[in-house]
Structure formats: structure tokens, C-alpha cells
Structure 1
Amino acid sequence: MAKKELQLLVAEQKVLNKIYAIRGEKVMLDKDLSAMYGVETKQLKRQVKRNINRFPKDFMFTLTRKEFENLRSQIGTSSWGGIRYMPMAFTEQGVAMLSSILNSKTAIEVNIRIIRVFTKLREYTLTHKEILIQLAKLEKEVKGNSRDIENIFMVLKELIQKQSTPVVRNKIGFRHYD
């Protein structure tokens, strides 16, 4: 594997590690995004608030205290530096929209990388969904054939039992009568 490919794989893995499932959505948090973009979290939040009309609820939402505590316990950190405001969570579309308000070369490069990871995640999910559908179809077929399979096993067991019990037969050949 080439060095550049390895670096790309490591970068994608870092992005993947920062994607969380919250409210049934795959999201990234403002803190993680700002670190990737190389800006302070408060600067990122400020830009989002200035352009809030670009971020409807399906692009970005603010975590509730309960969601934040749950997430913090999942990640295993005891403190996030004494935050005063709940984190913002950005969906794939929200991350894409961030590139229009954070117009730096780094932000654009990072956004492209993040969008590619989200796309791979979606493809992976669709592939697994197709496999699950096929398994469900197979399960239905097997359930429908289970009686036939049971009957086949019963016949096989009967045949095996018949073979194991010796059959008394008359000898073949000439008998000599005296």
C-alpha cells in the first residue's frame, strides 16, 4: 500500500471515528469539525449562527443536555472543558453546507474528505440492507420447506433403521434332502 493511500485511509478512519448516531441520524459534532478545519469551536458556531437560514433542522441541531450526557458517557470522557453551550450536531448535508460558510482551502479539503466518508457509510449500509433482505427471503423459503426437510429426514431414519436390523432370509441354492 502506497504511503499516500495509507494516509488517506488513516484520515478516513479518523473522520469515521467522529461520526455519531444521534436522533437516528449520522452526525458530526461542532467540536470535532472545528478541530478538523483548524478553527476554534466558537468561531465555527458564530459563522453558523450568522448563516442560520442555511441550516434547517435536518442539516444541524443542538444537542439536549440528556443527549450530551449520554454521548459523553459513551465516549468515556469526564469533561469537555467546561462547555457553556450544548454542542451542535451536523448531518451530512450540514457538513456540506459548512463549506459554503467556512471558505478556506483547509475547510474545502476536509469537507470533501468527510463527504466521501459519509458516502461510503451510506453505500455500506445499503449493501448490508440488501444482504438482510436476501436473508429474510431465504428464511421464508426455508420455513416453507421445513416440513419437506423433516419428511426427508424421517424417511432417511427409517431406511437406516431397516438396514441395521438383520433380515432373516431363506438360503438360496439346492437343498439336499435325505
Structure 2
Amino acid sequence: MVKAIMIPDDIISSKIYLIRDQKVMLDKDLSELYAVENKQLKRQVRRNIERFPEDFMFELNQLEFDNLRSQIGTSSWGGTRYMPMAFTEQGVAMLSSVLNSTTAIKVNIQIIRVFTKIRAMLTDTMSMKLEIEEIKKKLSNHTKNIELVFNYLDELIDKKDNTEPRKKIGYKNN
């Protein structure tokens, strides 16, 4: 029986970056999680490049790389000859087909689950924001209606104050 590999979700989610408006994981982090050399991971991807279209994987440009390094705050990238590869959720799923190790498959399943959780959280957050906006609109309308009611009341009070007292009618005692 193969021992189950468990990597905490927070470790995986800390390795997900937002680059080019996409949630991606970098080759360096993936190779670390899969317990393979980064060189081997890149080699397998290049050998199977037709499986990795632009929406599955892309190489960072120099500006993105510099920006990422400054965000991470580390210089452990060393003298890399090639720009890092960034894999979208679909690209990470495709990696399991080119890295045929049991570890890669199990870790891959965990990573996909984390991506799914993140997507669900974003969806929940978005629906909550929409509900809050709807409540704000209702409150704004209620505020306007309450102001209108008070304006009418003020007008009525002003009319009452401006009218002359009426003559009392009815039976008079002398």
C-alpha cells in the first residue's frame, strides 16, 4: 500500500500567485511539491509542449519575474537561465499526465482541490458583495422615502402655522 501524501492546503495556496489576471503556480514550487527536480519538470513540459497551450502554461517575462521576486522578497532564484513557467489550474492538471509518478498524481489531486476551494471562496465572496450592494440600494431608497415623508410633514406643519385661527362655531354661552 502506498503511503498517502498530505500537504497542508495553506502551503499549497501560498504558492498560488495572480499573474496576468490568472491564478498560477510556478514551476519551481510545483517541482518542490512533486519532489522532482525543476530541470526534470521543465524538460517534461518542453517534450510535451503541445499539451500546454498559452492558457495552460506561459513563461514569465522579465518584468513579471522582477515584480514577483520583489513580492516574494527572496533572491533564492539564483542565476536562472530561463524565466519561470507559470501553470494555470488546467496546466497543473495536465502536469500529472507528463509526470508519471505516484507522488505527482497525489499532489496534483490536492492542488486541484485547493484551486477549487479558492474558486468557491471567490464565488461566495462575489455573491456576498452583490447582496450587500442590493441592501445598500434598498437602504438608499428607504432613506429617500423617509426624507420625502419628513418633507411632507414639514410642509403640513408650515401650512398649519400660516393659517389664521378659525372662528369657533357652535353654541355660545353669554
| DSSP 3-state at the match of 1:138 | helix
Q: Aligned partners of 1:152, 1:95: CA distance in 2, in Å?
A: 60
In 2, the alpha carbon distance for the partners of 1:12 and 1:44 equals 22
Deviation of 1:153 after TM superposition, in Å, equals 6.7
Give the equivalent residue in structure 1 for 2:79.
82
Range with bigger deviation, 135-144 or 104-113: 135-144
- Which 10-residue stretch deviates more, 104-113 or 74-83? 74-83
1:15-164 map, 5 Å: 15-151=12-148
CA distance in structure 2 between the aligned counterparts of 1:44 and 1:22, rounded to whole angstroms: 20
CA distance, structure 2, for counterparts of residue 117 and residue 47 of structure 1: 24
Cα separation, 1, equivalents of 2:41 and 2:102: 15
Offset of 1:149 from its aligned partner?
2.9
Q: Distance in 2 between matches of 1:132 and 1:30?
A: 34
1:143, distance to aligned residue in structure 2 (A) = 1.8
Gaps of 5+ in 1: 1-6, 157-178
Shift of 1:151: 4.8
Aligned AA for 2:130? Answer: I
RMSD: 2.0
Query: Larger RCO: Structure 1 or Structure 2 (Cα < 8 Å, ≥ 6 residues apart)?
Result: 2
Output one character per residue of 1:108-154: Cα deviation in whole Å (capped at 9) or x when no partner.
Answer: 01000000000000000100111011111112212222222335677
Residues 153, 82 of structure 1: CA spacing in aligned structure 2 closer, same or farther, 3 A cutoff? farther
Task: Provide the C-alpha distance between the structure 1 equivalents of 2:31 and 2:86, rounded to a whole number of angstroms.
Answer: 12
Q: Aligned residues: percent identity?
A: 60
Q: 1:152 and 1:18 mapped to 2: Cα distance?
A: 56
Q: Which runs of 5+ in 2 are unaligned?
A: 154-174
The structural deviation recorded for 1:78 is 2.8
